[in-house]
Amino acid sequence: MIQYPWHSMRICGIRSLRFTARTTYSQKRTSQRLSTMPIALITGASREDTIGFEVARQLGAKGYDLILPTRSIDAGRKVSEVLKTKHEVNNVHVVELDLTKPESVKACADEVKKQTGALDVLVNCAGISLASTYDKGIEALKGWKDYSLTEGLRAIDTTHDDLEAIFRTNVFGAIELTNALAPLLLQSKAPRLVFVSTTIGTFESADKPDAFNHYFFAYASSKAALNMAALSYSKQLPKLNPAIKVNLVCPGYPATALNGYQGFGTTPDSAIGIVELATVDEHGPNGEFLAAYAPYGEPGKMGRVPW
Ligand SMILES: NC(=O)c1ccc[n+]([C@@H]2O[C@H](COP(=O)([O-])OP(=O)(O)OC[C@H]3O[C@@H](n4cnc5c(N)ncnc54)[C@H](OP(=O)(O)O)[C@@H]3O)[C@@H](O)[C@H]2O)c1
């Protein structure tokens, strides 16, 4: 059984000490905490069929309080209601966030600080894949090996607008949000920072003749950049709080809007590895790119994805 950081705290009573310490650090903010449970913020949980929603559901079932930032507050309220009524996950807080807008990222972080005064887990799960070429990309995924369908998605065809849209969300947004929330996250006794990436963003998989990655250039390169960002955080943040664990995870290929529901996995299965990394104990990995599905690993025994 996985031992989560919060278990030992509950058992040995450090849990209450932790919050006493925070009260001393910032009396005003702590008095506005959601509750005394560990707090996880997950992006990309705006719909029931997203991987982010499943991460939220599984963390909620483990007793975490949830902050779900969504572009549309109505969408956030809707998933919050679903979590409550269908899954008995009640501690859900919805915040507005558009990762493409720096002012929205800042407002989201300010709101989290005001409302909770604490953050223990940040899961960067929101992402887009194909921007304006979405329909073309979905056709390509349907044809799978028919690469002629991916015209417009190779490096040579990629437009400024597509690159900008994808990098704004997948790279700039994830980094800006992480930086905005880092001061809060680093105050936690056991901070966990997880980036949801994909094997398509690895050089190992791309460095093969006619690799699939090159037919989804903007997405693949945005995830390669995200991988570097995550690796960089994993080297630097432990200098500020040695208890932090920063990791990357590939969720597999579940059927979601991102791939036009062409994937063959499920979001509950895809969320398992993400949740494992969000809840690892102090002996867990740091600076690893992992997956909980074959051929890399399995649930409960995640394996390395070659960079
Ligand atoms: N599905 C796969 O096969 C697969 C494989 C490998 C990796 N991944 C990664 O897994 C993560 C989740 O993907 P998914 O399959 O769950 O995709 P999805 O169903 O398309 O969900 C994407 C989520 O990101 C949110 N989002 C997009 N742009 C945003 C923005 N500007 N600001 C805030 N939120 C934004 C979406 O919110 P809206 O509802 O507002 O659009 C939605 O909640 C992504 O990072 C993706 O790259 C997926």
Q: Is 6 in the pocket of ligand 1 (CB under 6 A)?
A: no
The pLDDT tens digits for 223-237 are: 999 999 999 999 999
Measured from the Cα of 49, ligand 1's closest atom is: 19
Q: Quick one: average pLDDT of 179-183?
A: 98
Confidence of residue 149 (pLDDT cuts 50, 70, 90): low
Percent of the chain scoring above 90 in pLDDT: 72
How far separated are the first and last CA of the chain, in Å rounded?
28
27, 31, 36, 42 alpha-carbon torsion, rounded to 10°: -100
51-65 pLDDT, tens digit per residue, is 999 999 999 999 999
Q: d(Cα 186, Cα 182) in Å, to the nearest integer?
A: 6
pLDDT at 130: 81
Q: Are 17 and 101 in contact (CB under 8 A)?
A: no
Cis ω for the linkage preceding 254 (within 30 of 0): no
Q: Give the CB-side neighbour count of residue 88, counting CA atoms within 13 A.
A: 3
CATH superfamily entry for domain 5-304 = NAD(P)-binding Rossmann-like Domain (3.40.50.720)
Average pLDDT value for residue range 159-184: 96
- Provide the pLDDT for residue 21: 30
CB 151 within 8 A of CB 144: no
Q: Which two tokens stand for residue 198?
A: 């994909």
pLDDT in tens, 269-294: 999 999 999 999 999 999 999 999 99
Closest C-alpha residue for ligand 1 atom 4:
253
Residue nearest to atom 40 of ligand 1 (CA): 71
- Determine whether the shortest distance from the Cβ of 213 to ligand 1 is under 6 A: no
Distance from Cα 220 to the centre of ligand 1, integer Å: 14
CA dist 39 and 125 (Å) reads 16
Q: Is the CB of 250 under 6 A from ligand 1?
A: yes
Residues 101-117: tens digit of each pLDDT:
999 999 999 999 998 88
Identify the residue with better confidence: 66 or 28: 66
- What is the bridge-based pairing of β-strands 303-304 and 289-291? antiparallel
- Model confidence band, residue 2 (pLDDT cutoffs 50, 70, 90): very low
Ligand 1 centroid to Cα of residue 196, in Å, is 9
* pLDDT interval class at 147 (50, 70, 90): low
pLDDT value at 93 more than 60? yes
CA–CA dist 203, 2 (Å, integer): 31
Is pLDDT larger for residue 16 or for residue 113? Answer: 113
Per-residue confidence band for 32, with pLDDT thresholds at 50, 70 and 90: low
Give the per-residue pLDDT at 146: 66
Ligand 1 pocket member 176 (CB < 6 A): no
> pLDDT at position 137, please?
76
Higher pLDDT, residue 103 or 35: 103
Ligand 1 in reach of 275 Cβ (< 6 A): no
Average pLDDT over residues 177-199: 97
